[in-house]
Amino acid sequence: KAGVTQTPRYLIKTRGQQVTLSCSPISGHRSVSWYQQTPGQGLQFLFEYFSETQRNKGNFPGRFSGRQFSNSRSEMNVSTLELGDSALYLCASSKTIEGGRGSTEAFFGQGTRLTVV
């Protein structure tokens, strides 16, 4: 079956602009999480969505937002881009057990590499 698809793969934006990244999870997976990866900070959790609801949020400013659609596809948006937002943004989907009692492994997309100039 198809894996997690992230688009676009690469993006160059200018400071102050906004950007929207897309993630299509594996069919049947209802949980989608987003991560930011930078050489200095490692993998930082952004947020997690389940059934169109944000269940958890990491420690990022309000410029970072996301949403999930009824088909489980997710988007994340970063407004007023800063140079420090340059990173690899990874999306992961998982088949979370209903009721939140345990989660299975996460399947990652290849990521979107965002460069802010």
**Site residues for another protein per CB under 8 A:** 4, 31, 33, 35, 42-43, 45, 48, 50, 55-56, 58, 88, 90, 92, 94, 96, 100, 102-111, 113
Looking at 39-111, which runs of residues are DSSP E strands? Answer: 42-50, 53-57, 64-68, 74-78, 87-94, 107-108
What does the alpha-carbon distance between residue 17 and residue 107 come to, in Å, rounded to a whole number? 30
Q: How far is the CB of 16 from another protein (least distance, A)?
A: 26
Give the burial class of 56: count Cβ atoms within 10 A of its Cβ; 0-12 exposed, 13-18 middle, 19 or more buried.
Answer: exposed
Shorter beta-carbon distance to another protein: residue 4 or 76: 4
Q: How far is the CB of 80 from another protein (least distance, A)?
A: 25
Q: Which of 32, 21, 31 is nearest to 88 (CA)?
A: 21
Q: How far is the CB of 28 from another protein (least distance, A)?
A: 16
Shorter beta-carbon distance to another protein: residue 27 or 56: 56
Q: How far is the CB of 67 from another protein (least distance, A)?
A: 17
Question: β-pairing, 112-116 with 10-13?
Answer: parallel
Shorter beta-carbon distance to another protein: residue 84 or 100: 100
Shorter beta-carbon distance to another protein: residue 79 or 113: 113
